[in-house]
Amino acid sequence: MNKTLLAIYGLKFNPFSPELPTAALHLTPAVEQFCWRIEQSLIREGGFALIQGDPGTGKSAVLRVLDERLHQLPDLSVGAITHPSSKLADFYREMGELFAVDLKPHNRWGGFKLLRERWLAHLQTTLLRPVLLIDEAQEMHPTVLNELRLLTSMQFDSRTLLSVILAGDGRLAAMLRREDLLLLGSRIRARLTLESASREALVACLEHVQQCAGNASLMSPELMKTLVEHALGNYRVLTTMAAELLAQAARLERPQLDESLYLEVFGALPGNARQRPGAKAAHAR
């Protein structure tokens, strides 16, 4: 949405965009508690943490918050895997780039040693474990996950060199129950399970992003209630519908987003609140 359209509603940014500023993300108490545990405990003790939930429940948003907060901590090295489906050789290539280590993928033992030496030196200097963030971790190969487990551990599993935060959908949780990944699953030290949001949480999210964007009355209370009824407890469905309404309101130069606009765009009657359009959006996922 361009600056002219944002100016119509006195907005600093589109409150329903996937590129929402990190500071404007709405965080529940459970998310805040999980982030606190990562910042205060995991980076000092190392190990694995897990964020799990269905698509659209906020896993990537939590990683964004953690990434920004951890980067603000002095002397902490933070990296993020961008290609989780890589096989072992490409995994080592990416790890080498993330942690500034010149690795030779054909020499796995050499790469293994160099990475551990880099992390150990960082730990001895700062007393903080480097952090690795992995989104869409359900796409990772079991051999890569097991290699990561071996990379992070030393002194007969009594010392951990790295903090790893895995985020994925239900397939990841199922993977970690497999026999070949049980050793990794048993090392999960912090868990955050994101479920369907309550109506109160969805309303709070809408109110929060509008206020952060600079126009707390962008939507009428009735429209927010209607959107929540259609969102099926999913933040992505909620903001997708809201973004479509905002674009249409700007095109029609409506002063506020309300229920009449909703009916024009989606054509849903109140009695069909659970049929359209959230049901279609959820089915598309």
Domain coordinates of the chain in residue numbers? 3-18+197-284, 46-194
Say what the pLDDT of residue 247 is. Answer: 92
Does the pLDDT at position 277 exceed 90? no
SS3 50: strand
Q: Fill in the DSSP letter of residue 271.
A: G
Peptide bond into 277 cis (omega under 30): yes
Q: Which two tokens stand for residue 185?
A: 């699953």
The amino acid present at 45, given as its one-letter code, is E
Cβ–Cβ under 8 Å, residues 226 and 270: yes
Q: Which two tokens stand for residue 216?
A: 């707390």
Say what the pLDDT of residue 285 is. Answer: 40
Show contacts of 219-226: CB within 8 Å, 24+ apart. 219/256, 219/257, 219/258, 220/256, 220/257, 220/258, 220/259, 222/258, 222/259, 223/257, 223/258, 223/259, 223/261, 223/262, 226/259, 226/262, 226/270, 226/273
Does the pLDDT at position 26 exceed 70? yes
Say what the pLDDT of residue 278 is. Answer: 56
CA atoms 71, 75, 76, 80: torsion sign: positive
What CATH fold (topology level) applies to the domain 46-194? Rossmann fold (3.40.50)
Cβ–Cβ under 8 Å, residues 48 and 166: yes
The model carries a pTM of 0.88
